[in-house]
Amino acid sequence: MSHVDTEAGGSFVRSYLLTGGRTRSDAGDIAIEAMVAATDGSEMPRDIDLAKIYQLCAEPNSIAEISAKCSLPLGVARVLVADLWGAGTLEILETTRSDDIAIVRRLLDGIRKR
Amino acid sequence: MAFESDNKPRPVSAKVVISGGFGVGKTTFVSAVSEIAPLRTEAKMTSAAAGVDDNQLVQTKTSTTVAMDFGKITVDEGLVLYVFGTPGQDRFGFMWNDITAGALGALVLVDTRRLDECFNAIDFFESRDVPFIIGLNQFDGAPQHDPEDIREALDLDPSVPIIRTDARTSDLALDTLVQLLSHILESLSAAASKEAAPVHHVPDDREAPVVTDGMRTAAMSALAAERTG
C-alpha cells in the first residue's frame, strides 16, 4: 500500500500531487479534474460544508464534482478542499500530464471497447 | 467517522474539452458520452462596472455567473476521463484556462450554418498548442458541406481532422471521442519522435499549409462590433 502521503514525511509527495510538479501551492493550482479522497484514518470535520465534502470524498471525486454536488462555486470548492488537504483530512490524487502517451493509449483502448 | 479502507481505489484523472459556439450541442455531446448525468458547476466572476461610485444608483461591481457542464467516463479502475464543456457565454473567460490547463485535447463542435461561432475556440486551441479536431454536428435540415470546404473556410491546418458527428447519438459521440484521442496520440507521437531524432528539416512535397488569420480576425472584429454596437 502506498500511503506515503499520510506519513509525516509525505509533504513532498503531497505538493507534487497538488501542483502537478509546479511549485506554487495556492488553491487555484488544483486542477478541476483532480480527484480528492478522504485520508485514511481522518476524522470528519465539524463544519457542515466541510463535512459534506468529506463524506462525498469517501469515494474519490474531482474538484468539479465536489463543486457541482455540494452546490459550491468552483473557486470556493477549491479553497475548502485546499484547507482540508492542508489539515491532512483529504488527499489530492494524481492528474495525468497532457503529454502522457501511455495514458492516451489506455483511454483509447478503454473507450473503443464501449 | 473515519475511513479505514485498505484497498480504496486511487484513480488517476485526465480530461478533454468540448468546445464550440453557443447552442452547438456541447452539453448534448457531454451527455451522450458520459456515464453519469452531466453535472454543472458554476463560478462567479466579479468585474468592475463603469459608473460613479454612488451606492444608491449604481452598482460598482457586477457579478456574472459562468456555468459549465461536464461528464465522466471510468475507463478502468485506475483511470477516469472527465469531459468538460466550455461555457458558451464566456468567450475568452477565466474558466477557459481552468478547463484547458492540462487537457489532453479538444473537440470543437461546429454548426455549419453558423461557422463563425467556432472561431474563438479554434484560435484559442491553436495558440496554446492544444491538439484538437473539428466535429461537424448534424442538425436536421442543415446543409451537408464537404469537409474540405469547411477546412478552407476555417483556415485550418491540413493535420486537423474534420469529421461528422451527431451529439444526440451515444455511439457516434463516443466514436468522435475515439477520433479525438487518436489525433492526440498522433500529435504526441509526432512530437516525441521529433524530439528523439532531431534531424534537419526536410521540406516535403506537399505544399506548406497557408494559415492566415485574416479571415477569422476580420470575422471576429465584425462580431465584436456587433456586440458593442
Which residues, at least 6 apart from B161, have a Cβ–Cβ distance to it below 8 Å? Answer: B133, B134, B179, B183
Query: Does B102 sit within 8 Å of A1, measured CB to CB?
Result: no
B152: left (phi over 0), alpha (psi -120 to 50) or beta: alpha
pLDDT for the residue numbered A8: 37
**Residue B12 DSSP SS3:** strand
pLDDT for the residue numbered B155: 93
pLDDT for the residue numbered B46: 60
Which residues, at least 6 apart from B36, have a Cβ–Cβ distance to it below 8 Å? Answer: B71, B72
pLDDT for the residue numbered B22: 84
B10-19, B133-142, B149-158, B180-189: range with lowest mean pLDDT: B133-142
pLDDT digits (tens, 9 = 90+) for A90-109: 999 999 999 999 999 999 99
Domain chopping of chain A, boundaries: 4-112
Contact B40, A70 (CB under 8 A): no
Beta strands in chain B (DSSP E): 12-20, 39-48, 61-76, 79-85, 106-110, 132-137, 162-165
> Cell for A112?
473503443
pLDDT for the residue numbered B92: 55
Separation in Å, CA B106 to CA A52, A90, B7, B103 = 32, 30, 34, 8
> For residue A1, is pLDDT > 90?
no
Starting at the edge strand found earlier in the chain, the sheet holding B162-165 runs B39-48, B61-76, B79-85, B12-20, B106-110, B132-137, B162-165
Of the candidates A31, A73, A105, the beta carbon closest to that of B42 is on: A73
Number of A–B residue contacts, CB under 8 Å: 140
> For residue B66, is pLDDT > 70?
yes
Query: Which residues in chain A touch residue B12, judged by CB atoms under 8 angstroms apart?
Result: 93-96, 103
B129: left (phi over 0), alpha (psi -120 to 50) or beta: left
pLDDT for the residue numbered A58: 96
CATH 1.10.3470 fits A4-112, yes or no: no
Query: Does B10 sit within 8 Å of A96, measured CB to CB?
Result: no
In 3-state terms chain B splits into helix, strand, coil percentages (rounded to 5) of 35, 25, 40
> Cell for B103?
487537457
Which residues, at least 6 apart from B175, have a Cβ–Cβ distance to it below 8 Å? Answer: B165
- C-alpha span between B183 and B163 (Å, rounded): 12
pLDDT for the residue numbered B50: 40
What's the rounded mean pLDDT across residues B195-205?
61
State whether residue B97 sits within 8 Å of chain A by CB. Answer: no
**Residue B104 DSSP SS3:** coil
Query: Which residues in chain A touch residue B95, judged by CB atoms under 8 angstroms apart?
Result: 74
Of the candidates A39, A75, A108, the beta carbon closest to that of B181 is on: A108
- Identify the H or E element spanning A68: helix A63-69
pLDDT for the residue numbered A16: 36
> For residue A5, is pLDDT > 50?
no
Of the candidates B41, B76, B103, the beta carbon closest to that of A110 is on: B76
Query: Does A108 sit within 8 Å of B39, measured CB to CB?
Result: no
Of the candidates A77, A95, A108, the beta carbon closest to that of B185 is on: A108
Range among A1-10, A67-76, B101-110 with highest mean pLDDT value: B101-110
pLDDT for the residue numbered B140: 83
State whether residue B80 sits within 8 Å of chain A by CB. Answer: yes
pLDDT digits (tens, 9 = 90+) for B43-52: 876 654 444 4
The domains of chain B, with CATH numbers, are 12-50+57-195+206-228 (3.40.50.300)
pLDDT for the residue numbered A42: 95
- C-alpha span between A83 and A45 (Å, rounded): 11
> For residue A66, is pLDDT > 60?
yes
